Amino acid sequence: MTEKFYITTPIYYPSRKFTLGNCYTTVICDSIARFNKILGKDVFFMTGTDEHGQKIAQSAKAASKSEMEYLDEMIADAKELWKMLKIDYDKFIRTTDDYHVKAVQKIFRELYDKGYIYKSTYKGKYCVPCESFWTESQLVDGKCPDCHRDVIDQEEEAYFFKLSAFGDRLLELYKNEPDFLKPQSRVNEMVTNFIKPGLSDLCVTRTSVKWGVPVDFDPKHTIYVWIDALSNYITGLGYGSDDDSNFKKYWPADVHIIGKEIVRFHAIIWPAILMALDIPLPKRVFGHGWLLFGGDKLSKSKSVASTECVDPRILVPRYSSDAVRYILLREIPFGSDGNYSTELFLNYVNSDLANNYGNLVSRTFSMLKKYRESVIPNHYNSEEEIDVDLINSVKKAVIDCKEYIETNFDVSKALASVFEIFSKANKYIEVTEPYRLAKDETKSNRLDTVLRNLLECIRIGTVLLSAFLPDCSKKVIDSLHIEKSLYEDLNEFYKLKTGEKVEELGILFPRLDVEKELQELAEINSEKL
């Protein structure tokens, strides 16, 4: 039976157009999903949007639109952005979808019937931009700990979820399932900041906010964001609907990839809800760090004024989806914060994409055309140390790449191991000097072997790379006539068909004039600010 793999992004809040920060999480998930397809797994990848709440209603009103008119435009823009970035999701869920609304109402009623939800009065601090309630002790300098804006006093009739009943079970979860929440620093934060001080029951409805899912047995109440939003991970698979086949097939999720600012909801509230419903927990929640711009983050509730160009709608058409995906995946240590700068991005395009990978493919294909009429040559047994070292290095990189993804979903290190293959191959060219071998007819077999080894490095590295940079990879894979290549094929050299003609390719990544690009991007960005 084929192994299943279910991965999710958080569902994003479309109170404004998606940013490069939103793209970061989505590109990570897309790459992990693609890699697991290379491993031969049956993959289901879901993303979507969290479309209820006060902020959406306010944004729609400010735009002089109805909530759905506003949302439909925002979601169309989001889907177009995902298309630009080659995000290959299986499901895009919207929390305004009818099936989701009905399923959330069923979930709420079941929790109520089981005694986990009760009616009372809420009085506390509320952050409108983040749509989060906070206790006085959780505020930072009297402000929201997430967006640092002012909070307001809120008092109203509300339903509460008995989150306080799950503290011990959550501690047992963290102890018995050490892989449930990663990295470990997130566990320490949840225990120290929330569970040990004592969990408070969670306000889960509003009467003052009308744009949301109504409680079907008490319609003046609107189901608060976190039961509505978190349930998407199961309702998107059909839980609570007439067809729950995908839920039975793919749940529990293999991993929820989220930003660290919403770990509390996914590592405390979500497992507690699932425990109350007697539904298996996701296998892992991974809270990654922030993509920082000028030392701060772009979030749903706060924008960063900067001279940096951070709009993916400008960057992708100008430099390619692969270039934008590369900087998001490669530079940020997964699990930690990382800084983005336009200059760093442009230099990576030149050094890694143009000079390393692009140059390797261009040089190899040019030599193949010049010396062998673009036909893949045979290889001849050789015990030369340089060949053995190359093959062993490539095999190690393949193993490393798989281990980084499967162990910690570390896309940054996985991608670095792929580019180690290309670096080794470029060094191999410098040492073997195929252009000199071509001048000596007695070295014909040796030239064939060198060219074949280079082509095999490109094949193996490119198949791995296809999980991360799908566009350029497809061009090379098509040129080499690779019909389908799974992980097991990458453990062997000499899988290409001898005698097959390789199609010519243009330049994959043109070298950039960094200073010129910086100046032009700064001008474009200043016009938008």
Q: What is the mean pLDDT of the chain?
A: 93
User: What's the pLDDT at 304?
Assistant: 43
H or E segment to which residue 119 belongs: strand 117-127
pTM above the 0.75 mark? yes
- The answer to whether the beta carbons of residues 475 and 286 sit under 8 Å apart is no
User: What's the pLDDT at 299?
Assistant: 44
Average pLDDT over residues 292-301: 57
Output DSSP code: residue 468: T
When pLDDT is cut at 50, 70 and 90, the band that residue 302 belongs to is very low
H or E segment to which residue 157 belongs: strand 152-161
Please report where in the chains the tokens 């989150």 appear, as a residue.
163
Please report where in the chains the tokens 């003046």 appear, as a residue.
220
Give me the sheet containing 338-340, strands edge to edge: 296-297, 291-293, 338-340
- The answer to whether the beta carbons of residues 34 and 88 sit under 8 Å apart is yes
Segment among 125-129, 232-236, 319-323 with least mean pLDDT? 125-129
Between 168 and 208, where is the model more confident? 168
- The answer to whether the beta carbons of residues 310 and 298 sit under 8 Å apart is yes
Q: 390-437, pLDDT tens digit by residue?
A: 999 999 999 999 999 999 999 999 999 999 999 999 999 999 999 999
Structurally, at CATH architecture level, domain 341-491 sits in Orthogonal Bundle (1.10)
Residues of the chain with pLDDT > 90: what percent?
A: 80
Q: Is the peptide bond before 214 cis (omega within 30 degrees of 0)?
A: no
Q: Give one word for 373, left, alpha or beta, with left for phi > 0 and alpha for psi -120 to 50.
A: left
Output DSSP code: residue 297: E
Helix pair 20-38, 385-408: axis angle to 10 deg: 120
Tell me the C-alpha distance between 45 and 257, whole Å: 11
Tell me: pLDDT of 256 over 80: yes
User: What's the pLDDT at 467?
Assistant: 98
| Residue boundaries of the structural domains of the chain | 341-491
Give me the sheet containing 222-223, strands edge to edge: 205-206, 222-223, 213-214
Between 133 and 310, where is the model more confident? 310
